[in-house]
Amino acid sequence: MLNPEVLVQLHHIVGDQGLRTDVLSLQTYGRDWTKIYEPAPSAIALPKSTEQVQAIIQLANQAGFKIVPSGGRTGLSGGAVAAQGEVVVSLERMRHILDFNVQDRSLTCEAGVITAQIQQFAAEQNLFYPVDFAAAGSSQIGGNIATNAGGIKVIRYGLTRQQVLGLEVVTGQGELLKLNHGLVKNATGYDLRHLFIGSEGTLGIITQASLQLIRAPDNLTVLVLGVPAFAALMQVLLRFQANLDLTAFEFFSAEALHYVVQDQGLAKPFATPAPYYALLEFENDSAGREQAALQAFQDGLAQNIVLDGVMSQSQTQAKALWRLRELISETISVYTPYKNDLSVRVSQVAEFLQAVDQLVAERYAAFEVIWYGHIGDGNLHLNILKPATMEKADFFEHCAAVNEQVFALTQSLKGSISAEHGVGLLKRDYLAYSRSPEEIAYMRAMKALFDPNQVLNPGKLLS
């Protein structure tokens, strides 16, 4: 627990409104959406400025307490969990958009701005911020950058990394860095900005960011297709990509659809049953594009790689079709899912999906596997649901055993054991399945350089 003297000093930095130690706040700010860890922070500090963030980190270095940086806490790998008496530093009071430049098409904002507000601000300028995912209404841009968030439009626009033009960061030893200053081109050596993107709050706390906005896509149109097999999903991708620049290519299994239809009261996209569904999105900005999509659909039917399909006729219908995919994670969260977030190269997805599916079935036939994800990026969300009759501890034991096999398979294909959710606490002990000993040694050296006293996010990413 924190020395009372330190609490007084923290109070001096952030004031009455910026310090909380009540039980509800400790419980709320000490956990993220991973849910499996018991929160136990000492205090919650809510700075209002970069100077206050810097003063807190400097105090932590002097007084020896640890810090968990905290955004919207929507992460699924325990990266924002405070379970060891740390001080949570929440950026939620730093929520201002500070600047917009029409010629640069960029905005600068504080780290606590909610992702959806950035999307909204961009739309008001007739522009577009392309990083999007179901948690965008709660997640904060600082957290998105710290985890290099992905989501549903990566296939066309890239990850958060591709949108960041500049960063302001306070390092683990309390220095202020201003990186890249919004420049598009800057070939002056190591780009430290990219080191902080995806560093999960272990090297510094991001306080401000400049983001590139882009032309808003025109008339986004959604297709949902029923598909007979894993391999056919990837053939559908090839077929449509030959004709169109897709802005999304997602998939989900019949089991996933079953839960969103049953629990959220959504309508099925069409009556024909299918074991898998692909959700595609494209800019329907000319008659030629719609024609190309319809042609690819007809060809898919003729080749038996598509069983049935529906194409949105309005933005309302497009949104309704998206809900079938976006609500899966939230819907199944009540069935105690064991989660994995894997990726392999796109060309290896079909083989990988089949092999993992078989591994899980061999381990325990009663496991219900819910497949979905950003299959066009090679990113698969594997969720195994706890059978109602099985004890939680038994279930997690089975899953951990099968997980070792899944990770070994991922390693053999040079894939990733965490494609977009980060490493945090949950995947930390498995890092070596995706990163070499030499890489991990360099990562440790980076940590020692920027955070020599190990003040920031202890135990996350690296043990």
Q: Which is nearer to ligand 2HG, 339 or 428 (CB)?
A: 339
Smallest separation (angstroms) from ligand 2HG to the CB of 102: 33
179 close to 194: Cβ distance less than 8 angstroms: no
Q: Which is nearer to ligand 2HG, 166 or 373 (CB)?
A: 373
Smallest separation (angstroms) from ligand 2HG to the CB of 287: 32
Q: Which is nearer to ligand 2HG, 42 or 253 (CB)?
A: 253
- Give exposure, 147-168, as e/b (b: 16+ Cβ within 10 Å): bbbbbbbbbbbebbeebbbbbb
Beta bridge partners of 209: 109, 167
Q: What would the x/- binding string for ligand 2HG be over residues 125 to 154, using CB under 6 A?
A: ---------x--------------------
Q: Which is nearer to ligand 2HG, 91 or 380 (CB)?
A: 380
Q: Is 339 in the site for ligand 2HG (CB under 6 A)?
A: yes
Smallest separation (angstroms) from ligand 2HG to the CB of 339: 5
Q: Which is nearer to ligand 2HG, 339 or 398 (CB)?
A: 339
The H or E element spanning position 90 is strand 87-90
Q: Which is nearer to ligand 2HG, 110 or 341 (CB)?
A: 341
* Cα 404 to Cα 412: distance, rounded to the nearest angstrom: 12
At residue 128, the 3 state secondary structure works out as strand
Distances in whole angstroms, Cα of residue 346 to Cα of each of 343, 380, 407: 8, 11, 17
Smallest separation (angstroms) from ligand 2HG to the CB of 375: 11
**Do β-strands 87-90 and 67-70 pair in parallel, antiparallel, or remain unpaired?**
parallel
* Cα 80 to Cα 77: distance, rounded to the nearest angstrom: 8
Q: Is 386 in the site for ligand 2HG (CB under 6 A)?
A: no
Structure tokens given for 22: 């009540």
Q: Hey, which residues between 69 and 108 contact ligand 2HG (CB under 6 A)? A: 76
Q: Which is nearer to ligand 2HG, 98 or 334 (CB)?
A: 334
The H or E element spanning position 68 is strand 67-70
At residue 64, the 3 state secondary structure works out as coil
Q: What is the DSSP letter of 5?
A: H
Smallest separation (angstroms) from ligand 2HG to the CB of 415: 16
**Closest CA relative to residue 146, chosen from 463, 395, 362, 456:** 456
Smallest separation (angstroms) from ligand 2HG to the CB of 34: 10
Smallest separation (angstroms) from ligand 2HG to the CB of 131: 12
Q: Which is nearer to ligand 2HG, 144 or 383 (CB)?
A: 383
Please, where are the H alpha helices in 104-186?
A: 115-124, 141-146, 154-157
* Cα 350 to Cα 233: distance, rounded to the nearest angstrom: 8
Count, residues near ligand 2HG per rule CB under 6 A = 7
Q: Which is nearer to ligand 2HG, 420 or 451 (CB)?
A: 420
Single out the residue of 48, 153, 381, 460 in contact with ligand 2HG (rule: CB under 6 A). Answer: 381
Q: Is 383 in the site for ligand 2HG (CB under 6 A)?
A: yes
Point out the residue whose Cβ comes nearest to ligand 2HG: 329
Cα dihedral 264→266→272→276 (10° resolution): -50
Residue 191 CA neighbour count, 13 Å, CB half: 16
Q: Hey, which residues between 7 and 46 contact ligand 2HG (CB under 6 A)? A: none
Smallest separation (angstroms) from ligand 2HG to the CB of 134: 5
Q: What is the DSSP letter of 427?
A: T
Distances in whole angstroms, Cα of residue 301 to Cα of each of 32, 270, 305, 424: 43, 15, 6, 43
Greatest Cα pair distance in the chain: 74
Q: Which is nearer to ligand 2HG, 134 or 145 (CB)?
A: 134
From the CB of residue 125, how many other CB atoms can be counted at a distance below 10 Å? 14
Q: Which amino acid is at 227?
A: V
Smallest separation (angstroms) from ligand 2HG to the CB of 33: 9
Smallest separation (angstroms) from ligand 2HG to the CB of 410: 15
Structure tokens given for 321: 């079709």
Smallest separation (angstroms) from ligand 2HG to the CB of 329: 3
Q: Which is nearer to ligand 2HG, 341 or 451 (CB)?
A: 341
Interface contacts to ligand 2HG, rule CB under 6 A: 76, 134, 329, 339, 341, 381, 383
